[in-house]
Amino acid sequence: MMRRLSVVPETPEPPKRTLEEMLTAIYNDPRADHEARELLLAVAYAVKLGPREGGASPLREARRVLGRDQIGRARYDALVAADAPRYEPPREAGNWSPSGAPSCMAPRLRPYVYRPRQAASPHDDEAVVRMRPLPEPIVHVGPDHVDPVDYRNEEGICGAQSHHRVLEKDPRTGWITAHWFCKRHKAHADRVAEQVREQNEQAPEPIPNKGGLLPCYFKADWAKVYAHYSKGWTAPSYGLCADDWPSAEQAVPRGRLRVMSGSNGE
């Protein structure tokens, strides 16, 4: 069995920066979107320039500066909750609806050939009386034009509407990859699920990929702050500061993917 971290490491003190250095670092931080950047700038202002009347904390001043949204809620609350360190799987890994799922990725054995749809009328196309004549198609291509290769043939996948989902956890990072298969490739989906079962059981806790920017710049009891504004949140074992999280290249593999024979392509 794989050893799992059970104790959250202590968050180190962020480096001491001048206001100019802090603003430069925040604006050049590729991990911060516009909302996270606005939160960091508000806290930076409160820490470096904010008034200290009545002993108000910098976070309380940042909350005042950020104001409220259109329905009167404090914007600070939602921004801090969004910065809570966590792992967010890709959208397709959490989408159970086949209508929004990617195409079936089972291997294709025969090239895809376009087949025109049948006429809506039971009669021949020539016997159908159209309400409005269809215009002649206009093709704007040169004499050397070559039709593009269909993506199903180019990628060698089935490409049909998916129905079955198999989740695979990375043995290094614990991050999830979703594999989707159509109804016709149910047996293939079952084989892939068995293939990754042991790997998923041994996969580590997912390395966070969202939040954790406030501890990179400011010192505070962030575990308490995050728990207050993000209900149900638990601290990841990798720590609260995004600077301390290992990258996919630094993470140590935890298991292996076994190759199983057999296929059920089209």
Q: Specify the amino acid at residue 164.
A: H
Q: Same domain for 83 and 155?
A: no
Q: Same domain for 96 and 195?
A: yes
Q: Same domain for 80 and 177?
A: no
Q: How confident is the model at residue 264 (pLDDT cuts 50, 70, 90)?
A: very low
Instruction: Tell me how far apart the terminal alpha carbons of the chain are, to the nearest angstrom.
Output: 38
Tokens of 177: 């990859």
In the block, residue with structure tokens 């909350």: 63
The β-bridge partners of 167 are: 178
The answer to whether residue 260 sits within a structural domain is: no
Residue 85, φ and ψ in degrees, nearest 5:
-65, 130
pLDDT in tens, 119-149: 566 556 565 566 676 677 777 777 787 777 7
pTM of the complete model beyond 0.85: no
pLDDT of residue 129: 60
174 conformational bin, left if phi > 0, alpha if psi -120 to 50, beta if neither: left
Q: Same domain for 162 and 234?
A: no
Higher per-residue pLDDT: 209 or 101: 209
Contacts for 139 with CB less than 8 Å, ≥ 6 apart: none
Q: Same domain for 81 and 177?
A: no
Residue 52 pLDDT exceeds 70: no
Contacts for 208 with CB less than 8 Å, ≥ 6 apart: 85, 86, 87, 236, 238, 242, 245
The answer to whether residue 212 sits within a structural domain is: yes
Residue 265 pLDDT exceeds 50: no
The answer to whether residue 123 sits within a structural domain is: no
- The whole-number average pLDDT for the span 233-246 is 94
Q: Same domain for 103 and 193?
A: yes
pLDDT of residue 19: 92
Tell me which of 30-34, 113-117, 223-227, 242-246 is least confident: 113-117
Q: Same domain for 41 and 81?
A: yes
The answer to whether residue 188 sits within a structural domain is: yes
**How many structural domains comprise the chain?**
2
The answer to whether residue 132 sits within a structural domain is: no
Q: Same domain for 65 and 152?
A: no
Domain carrying residue 214: 19-87+208-244
pLDDT cut 90: percent of the chain above it: 54
The answer to whether residue 66 sits within a structural domain is: yes
Give the whole-angstrom CA distance, residue 3 versus residue 254: 10
pLDDT of residue 18: 93
pLDDT in tens, 160-217: 888 899 999 999 999 999 999 999 999 999 999 999 999 999 999 999 999 999 999 9
Q: Same domain for 157 and 83?
A: no
pLDDT of residue 122: 58
Average pLDDT, the chain: 83
pLDDT of residue 259: 42
Within the chain, residue ranges assigned H as helices are 19-27, 34-48, 58-66, 75-82, 151-155, 186-202, 214-217, 222-229
In Å, what is the CA distance from 106 to each residue of 96, 103, 156, 189, 192? 18, 9, 8, 8, 10
